[in-house]
Amino acid sequence: MAGVQEAREGDKQGWRRPQLRERRVLVFPLPFQGHINPMLQLADVLHARGLAVTVLHTRFNALDPALHPEFAFVSVPDGVPAEVAATGTIIDIIVAMNVAMEASPAVGEALASVLADEGQPRAACLFIDANLLAVQKAAAALGLPTLVLRTGSAACLGCFFAYPMLYQKGYLPPQESQLYMPVNELPPLRVRDLFTSSKNSHEKVRRVLARITETVKYCSGLVINTCETLETTELQRIRDELDLPVVLAAGPLHKLSSKSTGSSLLDQDYSCIEWLDTQLSRSVLYVSFGSLASMDSHEFMEVAWGLANSGHPFLWVVRPGLVQDLDGLDFPDGFEIAIEGRGNVIRWAPQQEVLAHNAVGGFLTHSGWNSTLESISEGVPMICRPQSADQMMNARYVEDTWGVGFELEGKLERGKIESAIRKLMNGKEGADMRDRAKELKKKVADCLESCGSSQIAVDKLVSYILSL
């Protein structure tokens, strides 16, 4: 019934709907978990609206076509040297990939052969990650329009656009003495919240962000994985700045997509859901630092004891590579006994299902944008432990704008972790954050209703795709 109602609303507005698989969209995600997930969710949403989908993907972090039999898959050589893939930062890999793709005809050839495939519906456009300027150039040479999916927040994109100004006005590079100074042009951000990376030179970060800005400015349309209610002002600023036919807030995409899984690079351990079933409502702290963030073995020990000493049940994701200087998992002596029956440590979780579970009452997170959106969507308040990139600004919005969590600042120490957990899970402040998280969840859910802003954004997007 919801589908019929939606179709009527769309018809009233005069948006076109595709005949089944009348047209095709191509999608090319950046091959990192936090970028792959929203791109495949968008692909799923468009497929559900009747469009055919072809996924182009790199050999680095290659996707598994068997998980998406409904899509066609094309593997594209990425040219990332093995040593960069093994030891480079994410920025090194993005730079190497773009350099190699611009130097070789491989992407253009792959796109040309996809376009020439007469067994498939005609391709309308290519969705790319904003980091893939090289792919945009190859598509432009073939006359194929590109649309960008921004997998981060609208605030983050606004910060990229503002980067030259931030340098010009002396906010960047960040000075120790100015970290808490407000950035008046980008409220509520302070200097410490701006996009930075301690593992890369400022110059390298600037160059990569300038290329993202170029990709977005010259695309044929922009979709952002956010929603109007979360980032009204930030979206308006972007619309004012860009001269694009469509700038659409169509998120949180994982809530619009019918598939919550299927794009995970690691196997998700579903046994934790059975374990959560045995726990009391809102009693469990979920702990995960995403797919890229890491810590040293001392910090790891502090987190372990902070969790153990808090007395709360917890579910902790310790993925391979989380601890920089440890080969295998090495828990402190006495830890396993201290957490018996109360703590569950797993390699990788079905995170969206975990956050949606009634037993989960809080999330200790690195504040990646997907994790933030997934937590907000389920009304779960957060302890934020941001590390780099956009994570600091996401944490700032969580604490200051939405009031659904707080940042754990300074060195990671067991005593501080323990009291932060108590504050979130037992304290009055934590209860207030939980109440606000419930209200925010409701507002986001409204955007996803059939006449909500995110559904309307998808209607407009489909209609626009058909017009290309």
Window of 2-10, 58-66, 208-216, 287-295 that interacts with ligand UDX by CB under 6 A: 287-295
286 or 464: CB nearest ligand UDX: 286
Q: What is the DSSP string of 65-97?
A: GGG-TTSEEEEE-----HHHHHH--HHHHHHHH
Choosing from 37, 41, 375, 454, the residue that interacts with ligand UDX (CB under 6 A) is 37
300 or 464: CB nearest ligand UDX: 300
Q: Least distance in Å: CB of 140 to ligand UDX?
A: 26
Q: State the DSSP code for 303.
A: H
Bridge-based pairing of strands 247-249 and 222-224 is parallel
Window of 105-113, 232-240, 284-292, 427-435 that interacts with ligand UDX by CB under 6 A: 284-292
Residue 332 main-chain phi, psi, to 5 deg: -65, 155
Q: Least distance in Å: CB of 197 to ligand UDX?
A: 10
Within 16-35, which residues bind ligand UDX (CB under 6 A)? 32-34
Place of tokens 């690079």: 265
* 162's tokens: 């503002």
Place of tokens 């707080």: 406
| 57 counts as catalytic | no
| 35 counts as catalytic | yes
Choosing from 61, 136, 225, 370, the residue that interacts with ligand UDX (CB under 6 A) is 370
Annotated active-site residue in 44, 78, 129, 193: 129
Choosing from 44, 78, 193, 374, the residue that interacts with ligand UDX (CB under 6 A) is 374
58 or 268: CB nearest ligand UDX: 268
Choosing from 160, 316, 369, 397, the residue that interacts with ligand UDX (CB under 6 A) is 369
15 or 161: CB nearest ligand UDX: 161
268 or 463: CB nearest ligand UDX: 268
Q: Least distance in Å: CB of 6 to ligand UDX?
A: 26
Place of tokens 């800005």: 213
Q: Least distance in Å: CB of 387 to ligand UDX?
A: 8
Choosing from 220, 257, 288, 377, the residue that interacts with ligand UDX (CB under 6 A) is 288
Within 251-280, which residues bind ligand UDX (CB under 6 A)? 264, 268
158 binds ligand UDX (CB under 6 A): no
The continuous run of DSSP H or E covering 155 comes out as helix 154-168
33 or 61: CB nearest ligand UDX: 33
Residue ranges of alpha helices (H) inside 242-296 are 253-256, 271-277
Number of residues that bind ligand UDX (CB under 6 A): 25
Specify whether the CB–CB gap between 254 and 279 falls below 8 A: no
Q: Nearest Cα to 238, choosing from 219, 256, 257?
A: 219
The residues, ordered by sequence, that sit 6+ positions from 119 with a Cβ below 8 Å of its Cβ are none
Specify whether the CB–CB gap between 395 and 367 falls below 8 A: yes
Place of tokens 């469990």: 284
41 binds ligand UDX (CB under 6 A): no
Choosing from 146, 213, 351, 375, the residue that interacts with ligand UDX (CB under 6 A) is 351
How would you list the strands of the sheet with 23-28, edge to edge? 72-76, 52-58, 23-28, 122-129, 146-150, 222-224, 247-249
129 or 418: CB nearest ligand UDX: 129
The residues, ordered by sequence, that sit 6+ positions from 359 with a Cβ below 8 Å of its Cβ are 276, 277, 279, 280, 281, 282, 283, 284, 313
Residue 314, phi-psi category: left (phi > 0), alpha (psi -120 to 50), beta (remainder):
beta
Task: Kindly list the catalytic residues.
Answer: 35, 129
Residues that bind ligand UDX (CB under 6 A): 32-34, 37, 152, 264, 268, 288, 290-293, 317, 348-349, 351-352, 368-371, 374, 389-391
